[in-house]
Amino acid sequence: MSTAPLIRLNALTKAYGRGQATFQALKGVDLTIDSGDFVAIMGPSGSGKSTMMNILGCLDTPTGGSYEFRGVHIEDVSRNQRALLRRHYLGFVFQGFNLLARTTALENVELPLIYRGESAVVRQQRARAALAQVGLKGWEDHTPGELSGGQQQRVAIARAIVSDPEILLADEPTGNLDTSTSAEIMELITNLNRERGITVLMVTHEPEMAEYAKRVVRIVDGVIASDQRNGEAA
């Protein structure tokens, strides 16, 4: 008995603008992603990879085609329903960390749980556990300005996983980090995929980072040019 994929994109298109100014960012993307997969999405600037990531993260909607998440057609649901899906199933990590500068690491990690209405006791317990999981036990009371770039990205990852998401969407997660720190962050993301079974979708322009993934999907001019499995995850 076959298991339905976690995500299925079918003939997905996305256009911006109107008339002669229309820009077709995605031109009919077909893609399936199974639960527990680790997919690196690569492509040159303007290829459509960020557009596809925004649609997968329910931050944008397609112009045509379909996006199924566990069999539900996301293109048909309301803005509030997409927000609920983000809140309960998705975690986000960005190149720029996106941490609140004047709040502590603990308070930054608590944010998703505030939106979910969790009590202060539950928030602190789960935030401390998430920070410990990313190797920041003892750093809870430090603000971003008191942390290195690698530590800030670890806080961002803790914030992304504190709500036990099914999918981690990482947009250039090592783009602002040096080579050594990038490797540490990728090992952390790989362990979350292997040990917790979190499905990882990662946009990257760095082949070395893509080697950590199980699959590499390359997008060129709004279409998938290749979809290959790595021989062995790094």
Return the closest-CA partner of residue 62 out of 92, 19, 28, 18: 28
The DSSP symbol for 18 reads -
pLDDT tens digits along 147-192 = 999 999 999 999 999 999 999 999 999 888 899 999 999 999 999 9
pLDDT digits (tens, 9 = 90+) for 59-102: 999 999 999 999 999 999 999 999 999 989 999 998 888 899 99
Beta strands 72-73; 90-94: pairing state? unpaired
For position 116, what pLDDT does the model report? 86
Residue 234 scores a pLDDT above 80: no
Q: How confident is the model at residue 233 (pLDDT cuts 50, 70, 90)?
A: very low
Please state the φ and ψ torsions of residue 224, each to the nearest 5 degrees: -80, 115
Locate the DSSP E strands across the chain. Answer: 7-16, 23-33, 38-42, 64-69, 72-73, 90-94, 167-171, 199-203, 215-220, 223-229
Q: What is the per-residue pLDDT for 1? A: 44
- Determine the pLDDT at residue 130: 95
pLDDT of the residue at 176: 86
Q: Please state, for a pLDDT cut of 90, what percent of the chain lies above it.
A: 85
For domain 7-97+165-228, give the fold: Rossmann fold (3.40.50)
3-state SS assignment for residue 40: strand
Q: How far apart are CA 151 and CA 233, in angstroms?
A: 24
Residue 165, token pair as written in the block: 């998401």
Rg over alpha carbons for the chain, rounded to the nearest Å, is 18
Q: What is the pLDDT of residue 3?
A: 72
**pLDDT at position 97:** 84
> CA–CA distance from 115 to each of 148, 166, 190, 208, 221 (Å)?
27, 17, 27, 35, 37
Q: What is the mean pLDDT of residues 34-58?
A: 94
- Of the chain, the percentage scoring pLDDT greater than 70 comes to 98
Sorted by where each begins, the domain ranges of the chain are 7-97+165-228
Looking at residue 192, its pLDDT comes to 94
Has this prediction a pTM greater than 0.85? yes
pLDDT at residue 29, rounded to an integer: 96
Q: What is the pLDDT of residue 232?
A: 46
Residue 191 confidence (pLDDT): 95
pLDDT tens track for 185-221: 999 999 999 999 999 999 998 999 999 999 999 999 9
